[in-house]
Amino acid sequence: MILLGPPGAGKGTQARMLEEDFGLVQLSTGDLLRAAVAAGTDAGRKAKAVMEAGQLVSDDIVLAILKDRMAQPDVARGIILDGFPRTAAQAAALDALLAEAGQKVTAAVSLEVDDDAMVARVSGRYTCAACGEGYHDEFKQPARAGVCDKCGGTAFKRRADDNAETVRERLTAYHAQTAPLIAHYDSQSVLERVPAMGSIAGIRAMLADIVGRVSA
Ligand SMILES: [Zn+2]
């Protein structure tokens, strides 16, 4: 399974639930690289040299590491790829790699968000400076204005990257980067669009539905 979704769509949470519910294993590119480097495999040594030279690890090396990882028994029930592929070329290379192993992408799940609602959700967040309790301009204000419900603190802080403009930019970049992948998997009829603005439990149920359907 390929999992696609912008920052804030709950990708990490849902991936963990898919692991719990179905015994799938989530593999992110970063984790794969770190593990391969630590294990000192052929591809891991190549990746290490490239990274030490301050360069980006090539698709070939990432695919070689993924191939090694896919051969291990703990991923027999299936994997969730997160952060790879990022381009149509990588998606095509992944298809070829899977085909060699007699496998394929069973589902490419796109967690779909409403951009405007996302901006409102993320950019309204702030926390108590003393105890870290989370608040939101629209959805969760303290009972007494300016006083933390939990500790009575009166100082609050906002993350600099949680402002509306930054969130909007992240979403625009995400859509631009993901459009070719969406098209790639749509053309293979494995694309599953999941509305991701609802409850965590609701999204979990929709994903369970998809896994049940595609693995039947
Ligand atoms: Zn507080």
Q: How far is CA 55 from the centre of its chain?
A: 23
Query: Is 9 inside a domain boundary?
Result: yes
Query: Is 214 among the annotated ligand-binding positions?
Result: no
Query: Is 181 inside a domain boundary?
Result: yes
Query: Is 172 among the annotated ligand-binding positions?
Result: no
Q: What is the pLDDT of residue 18?
A: 94
Query: Is 169 inside a domain boundary?
Result: no
The answer to whether 182 touches 110, Cβ cutoff 8 Å, is yes
Secondary structure element (H or E) that encloses residue 134, with its range: strand 134-136
- If one counts the domains in the chain, the total is 1
Q: What is the pLDDT of residue 122?
A: 82
Strands 134-136 and 25-28: unpaired
Handedness of CA 195, 196, 197, 202 (dihedral sign): positive
Eight-class DSSP state of 188: T
| Distance between Cα 128 and ligand 1 center (Å) | 5
Report the pLDDT averaged over residues 2-14.
89
Query: Is 194 inside a domain boundary?
Result: yes
Identity of the residue numbered 107? A
| Distance between Cα 163 and ligand 1 center (Å) | 21
Q: What is the pLDDT of residue 139?
A: 87
Of how many residues is the chain composed?
A: 216
| Distance between Cα 138 and ligand 1 center (Å) | 18
Report the pLDDT averaged over residues 17-35.
92
Is the predicted pLDDT of residue 162 greater than 80, yes or no?
A: no
pLDDT tens digits, one per residue of 59-70: 999 999 999 999
pTM: predicted TM-score of the whole model, two decimal places = 0.83
Strand partners, 112: 195
3-class SS of residue 112: strand
- State the catalytic residues: 11, 86, 125, 158, 170
Report how far residue 138's alpha carbon sits from residue 159's, in angstroms, rounded to the nearest whole number.
17
**Residue 182's domain is classified under what CATH number?**
3.40.50.300
Q: What is the pLDDT of residue 204?
A: 95
Secondary structure element (H or E) that encloses residue 35, with its range: helix 29-39
> Which residue range forms the structural domain that includes residue 107?
2-24+77-114+177-215
Query: Is 170 among the annotated ligand-binding positions?
Result: yes
| Distance between Cα 133 and ligand 1 center (Å) | 5
Query: Is 189 inside a domain boundary?
Result: yes
Query: Is 142 inside a domain boundary?
Result: no
Query: Is 125 among the annotated ligand-binding positions?
Result: yes
pLDDT tens digits, one per residue of 75-108: 989 999 988 898 899 999 999 999 998 999 999 9
Give residues whose Cβ lies within 5 Å of ion ligand 1: 128, 130-131, 133, 148, 150-151, 153
The answer to whether 3 touches 82, Cβ cutoff 8 Å, is yes
The answer to whether 184 touches 92, Cβ cutoff 8 Å, is yes
Query: Is 183 inside a domain boundary?
Result: yes
Strand partners, 108: 2, 191
Closest by alpha carbon to 4, among 198, 176, 174, 189?
174
pLDDT tens digits, one per residue of 146-157: 999 999 999 999
Secondary structure element (H or E) that encloses residue 161, with its range: none
Query: Is 109 inside a domain boundary?
Result: yes
Report how far residue 123's alpha carbon sits from residue 120's, in angstroms, rounded to the nearest whole number.
5
